[in-house]
Structure 1
Amino acid sequence: MGLGGISIWQLLIILAIVVLLFGTKKLKGMGSDLGGALKGFKDSMQNDDDAKNLEKKEQDEADAAQKTEKKDESKL
């Protein structure tokens, strides 16, 4: 038994039918498109994380500057 009750022979027959219907060039193109879409998604997520980290860093710096100003005011 293979995946969910499908044997290896059934999977090979399905693969052969898909190759006959679409052809290897079209399947390769679809695979490349899918890979490009996944890469774009990962890059977008990374850019979003970078933007959040930058925003947090700027907020931390602003908070530190306010604390420094309050210390300076209290000394006066």
Structure 2
Amino acid sequence: MGSFSVWHWMIVLAVVLLLFGRGKIPELMGDVAKGIRSFKNGLSDDTAGSAEKKS
């Protein structure tokens, strides 16, 4: 019941590749990166806007 072995991870990787295909995974990672980038931009815009309001 300990940690997963290398064989467990290889089986999980094979199942993920079968479900999503090779082209879909980079597309998903790109979408995640865009979401994180827009979230960071929103936070920086909010911080800059609140700093301007205080001045």
Shorter-chain TM-score bucket reads: 0.7 to 0.9
RMSD of aligned residue pairs (Cα, Å): 1.3
How many pairs does the alignment contain? 54
Matched, 1:52 2:50: yes
Shift of 1:8: 2.6
Q: 2:26 aligns with which of 18, 25, 28?
A: 28
Shift of 1:9: 2.2
Q: Which runs of 5+ in 2 are unaligned?
A: none
* Counterpart Cα distance in 1 of 2:32 and 2:19: 19
**Percent of aligned pairs with the same residue?**
31
Amino acid at match of 1:5: S
Q: TM-score, normalised by structure 2?
A: 0.85
Q: Structure 1 segments of 4 or more deviating over 4 A?
A: none
Q: TM-score, normalised by structure 1?
A: 0.64
Q: Secondary structure at the match of 2:42?
A: helix
